[in-house]
Amino acid sequence: MTGARRIENLALTTAGVAAAFAWVFPLYWALATSLRSEKRVVGEEAGLFPDEFNLAAYIDALFNTQIARWYFNSIGTSLIITGLVIVSGMMCAYAISQMRFPGRRLLYGIVLASFMIPAQALIVSQFILMNDLGLVNTWAGIILPQLIVPIVIIVYKQFFDAVPLEMREAVVLDGGGEYTLLFRLYLPLNWGITTALAIITFIGAWNSFLWPFLIVTTEDMMTVPVGITQVTDVFGVKYARLMAVALLAAMPVALAYLIFQRRVTEAVMISSGIKG
């Protein structure tokens, strides 16, 4: 590498890292705020650099808000949504990809078309339906409308289509039926995409706001993203606690992303139809 190239590289790296730090400054600032005392947060001496390691705001959040309860609701509903979406999507995609039955093309057409229907257009009728079924303020009410994730079927179908026929025939010769084929051959061959889809489905379920916000009216049934907007104080806003609560709400998805970074980016690309 020539000297000029090396300097250019160094300049680019510096620029990139500086831009990245500037981009996440809001997150840094939320963290710095959450680790200060409420007094310092609004005081004159609060500088840009971290100057305190005070967990009071987190303790305040854990004991004086219902965040533990919201965590329970969010983890429960998000895990159930993820499990059901993946299993039902996989089964449906398998039938569409590998079996011949009347209505197969129509079904896939409907899956593709439903991809274009904005869920927001259905909030009124979905709410009326859930109310008729007595599911307002229940986990089932939160979960049901979030079970339709057409992209999972579309992605699985592509992956199942690509499995070589010879592998299938070997299982069939051994007397395996369709369910054996799906769970003993097609699923194990596609663990990678299954984890990727499961992670983004979980992140999506954890993050969903509008529907849980509509279907839940009591504080104890709220999910984390809805609940944190309810944290107020009679004596005005407590900013350190507000930021502590926000960061606690972001933690599961942020961790899921940082741990499974490659899977998440892979899943995002595949589900946008770029790779696959």
Partner 1 sequence: MAIIGSRRRNGLIAASLVAPFVLTFALVFAYPTLEVIRLSFTDSPLIGDGEWIGLENYRNLLSDRLFYTSVSNNAYFLLLTVVPTTALALGMALLVNSLKGRWQAFVLALFFLPYILPVSVVTQIWIWITDFQFGVVQPVIALFTGEPVSVFRNPFWVMPTIAFVTIWWVNGFNVLLFIAGLRNIPPELYEAAAIDGATKRQRFFKITWPLLWPITVLVLTLQLILQLKIFDQVYLLSQGGPFNTSYVPLLLVYREAFQLNHGGYASAVALVIFVMILVVSVLQFQLLRVVGRR
To 10 degrees, what angle do helices 191-207 and 150-161 make?
170
Phi, psi (5° rounding) for residue 73? -60, -45
| C-beta separation of 145 from 139 below 8 A | no
Residue 233 CB, nearest approach to partner 1 (Å) = 14
Question: CB of 115 within 8 A of CB of 194?
Answer: no
CB of 162 to partner 1, least distance (A): 19
- Give the span between the Cα atoms of 8 and 249, in whole angstroms: 40
CB of 139 to partner 1, least distance (A): 15
Beta carbon of residue 245, minimum distance to partner 1 (angstroms, whole number): 8
Q: Phi then psi for 273, rounded to 5 degrees?
A: 80, 20
Nearer to partner 1, 46 or 189 (CB): 46
Q: How far apart are the first and last CA of the chain?
A: 36
For partner 1, the closer CB: 124 or 167: 124
Minimum CB distance to partner 1, residue 56 (Å): 17
Q: Is the separation of the CB atoms in 260 and 195 below 8 Å?
A: yes
Q: Decide whether 88 or 189 has the Cβ nearer to partner 1.
A: 88
Q: Which tokens go with 154?
A: 């579309």
CB 59 → partner 1: shortest distance, Å? 19
- Enclosing H/E stretch for 140: helix 139-143
Give the integer Cα–Cα distance in Å for 223 and 219: 9
Choose among 192, 191, 203: nearest CA to 263. Answer: 192
Residue 62 or residue 276: which is nearer to partner 1 going by CB? Answer: 276
Q: Least distance in Å: CB of 63 to partner 1?
A: 20
Of 189 and 276, which has the nearer Cβ to partner 1?
Answer: 276
Radius of gyration of the chain (CA): 24
